[in-house]
A and B are shown apart, each in its own frame.
Chain A
Amino acid sequence: MNRYVKTAYDGLITNNATFKLVLGTCATLAMSTSAVNSFGMGLSVTVVLLLSNVVISLLRKVIPNTVRIPAFIVIIATMVTLLRMVLEKYIPSLYDAMGVFLPLIVVNCVILGRAEAFASKQPVLDSAIDGLFTGLGLTFALTLIGVIREFLGSGSFFGIKVMDFSIGFFTNSAGAFFVYGICIALFVLATGQIEKRARAKRARALRRPPEGPLDPPEDGSAEKEVQ
């Protein structure tokens, strides 16, 4: 597998920040009341993640090892401040909906985690791909939870009324924990099944070559003996 594809796949599925690593949970739980909000939050985190990964990767040889964490945090905080200004000016509705969770992107563990584990050691292009796809994996997970909660909570899909019912449980905090927990369980179950199937396939593929060439001569000799 190409190294870039592998990085992307890891970020999206294998190390999915929301479902597999369970990082950045505060934003996930708080912003998933509606699909639009969770999608906006996911994209905001993706933008910050991509920018901070690129900048940290560019500066990885300049930043001294002993003060790297404060340096990373300042870089991330700068990105978030810029994002906040842009959102306040151009998407005020999302800015209002995010409230205190917009500045809190700074302390989202996913961003600092990728900076520390990946961007501080890898070249720029790798870090950019890692940031982008980790962010997209997070956006996908957040949007999924948002869609489920919005549909069950108010019967609508991305703000459009689909069915005429509402279950208040799913719009308040208890529902957030519940849906998130069930989603993690299902994701772990699904990826576990896929991996098991892939492993079984690989094992079969490994077993077949020695069996394949060996069988015909045996058969042939057996036939000869019979003859």
Chain B
Amino acid sequence: MAATILLIIISAVFSQNFILVKFLGICPFLGVSKKTNSALSMGAAVTLVMVLATLVTWPLYTYVMVPLGIEYLEIIFFIFVIAALVQMLEKIIAKISPALYKTMGIYLPLITTNCAILGVAELLLVNDVSDIVSGVMQGISMNLGFALLYALFAGVGFTLAMVLMGGVREKLEKLPVAKCMKGFPVTMVAASFMAMAFYVFSLL
């Protein structure tokens, strides 16, 4: 049990990092990672929505859609749940804490079309934990607890990659770069080196 939890955490944060290994959520990774602060806010917002979305989509799929035999509608259902959730969250945060809304709120609408959220909801639709986390013994069936744990730490991994990239880009801004490599190309090459570092975790 403890080993499974540890493996899920390490896998979600490092060896199966959502951005650098699985390529989910690259748009915010390239778009919002210019400053460490904004990268951190975006990461926190994504993590929050990821966990909440999983909290709704996983039971919805397992306890409602499968018994009714309407699994084929999962894409439409999930995207609707995520869009509604993001909208609701935006209103709630604006009401409760205007200061938090100022730092995080502007990123919330962007999150609806973030592949990482729909990606985690889709990835978690497996019967066995070993299908998404390598190294775990076979036969441990997926449940809501593991799903939420995976979603939370996938968000943490996402935030980690965003913040690291923010730091790299703050430095890159000040360096002389060839004109055609400015902007996206040089960011991609930097991301390539980061991906190499994260690749090592999957070899362990």
Q: Give A residues with C-beta under 8 Å from B.
A: 22-23, 25-26, 29-30, 70, 73-74, 77-78, 80-81, 84-85, 100, 103-104, 106-109, 112, 169, 172-178, 180-182, 184-186, 188-189, 192
Task: Determine, out of B1-9, B40-48, B114-122, the stretch whose residues face the partner at the interface.
Answer: B114-122
- Which range holds the interface residue count of chain B? 35 or more
B80 adjacent to A181 (CB under 8 Å): no
Q: If A22-B30, A26-B25 touch, does A182 touch B189 (CB 8 Å cutoff)? A: yes
Closest residue of chain B to A180 (Cβ to Cβ) is B188
B118 adjacent to A26 (CB under 8 Å): no
Task: Specify which chain A residues have a CB less than 8 angstroms from the CB of B189 in the assembled complex.
Answer: 177-178, 181-182
Q: If A104-B122, A181-B185, A185-B180 touch, does A173 touch B27 (CB 8 Å cutoff)? A: no
Q: Beta-carbon contacts of B172-204 to A below 8 Å, as 1s and 0s?
A: 000000101100111111011101101100000
Task: Specify which chain A residues have a CB less than 8 angstroms from the CB of B27 in the assembled complex.
Answer: 23, 25-26, 109
Min CB gap B33→A, angstroms = 13
- With the chains together, A109 CA to B181 CA distance in Å? 23
Min CB gap B85→A, angstroms = 13
Task: Specify which chain A residues have a CB less than 8 angstroms from the CB of B191 in the assembled complex.
Answer: 177, 181
Closest residue of chain B to A79 (Cβ to Cβ) is B75
B22 adjacent to A30 (CB under 8 Å): yes
- Asked if B74 is at the interface of the complex by the 8 Å CB criterion, the answer is yes
> Which of A22, A103, A180, A192 makes the CB contact (< 8 A) with B75?
A103
- With the chains together, A149 CA to B77 CA distance in Å? 35
Min CB gap B46→A, angstroms = 13
A189 adjacent to B113 (CB under 8 Å): no
- Asked if B63 is at the interface of the complex by the 8 Å CB criterion, the answer is no
Task: Specify which chain B residues have a CB less than 8 angstroms from the CB of A78 in the assembled complex.
Answer: 76
Among B72, B76, B115, B181, the most chain A Cβ lie within 10 Å of the Cβ of B115
Min CB gap B22→A, angstroms = 7
Sample of 22 A–B contacts (CB below 8 Å): A25-B27, A26-B115, A70-B83, A74-B79, A78-B76, A81-B72, A81-B73, A84-B72, A104-B118, A106-B118, A107-B113, A112-B113, A172-B199, A173-B21, A173-B195, A173-B198, A174-B199, A176-B23, A176-B192, A178-B189, A181-B191, A192-B180
- With the chains together, A78 CA to B122 CA distance in Å? 16
Min CB gap A37→B, angstroms = 13
B188 adjacent to A178 (CB under 8 Å): yes
> Which of B72, B119, B186 makes the CB contact (< 8 A) with A104?
B119
A26 adjacent to B192 (CB under 8 Å): no
B180 adjacent to A189 (CB under 8 Å): yes
- With the chains together, A100 CA to B118 CA distance in Å? 9
Return the 8 tightest CB-CB contacts between A and B, nearest first: A181-B188, A177-B192, A185-B185, A178-B192, A174-B195, A30-B23, A25-B26, A174-B196
Min CB gap B88→A, angstroms = 13
- With the chains together, A150 CA to B93 CA distance in Å? 46
B114 adjacent to A107 (CB under 8 Å): yes
- With the chains together, A182 CA to B190 CA distance in Å? 11
Min CB gap A204→B, angstroms = 25
Closest residue of chain A to B77 (Cβ to Cβ) is A77
A177 adjacent to B195 (CB under 8 Å): yes
9 more contacts with CB within 8 A, not counting A106-B118, A172-B199, A177-B192, are A74-B80, A78-B76, A80-B75, A81-B72, A104-B118, A109-B27, A173-B20, A173-B198, A177-B188
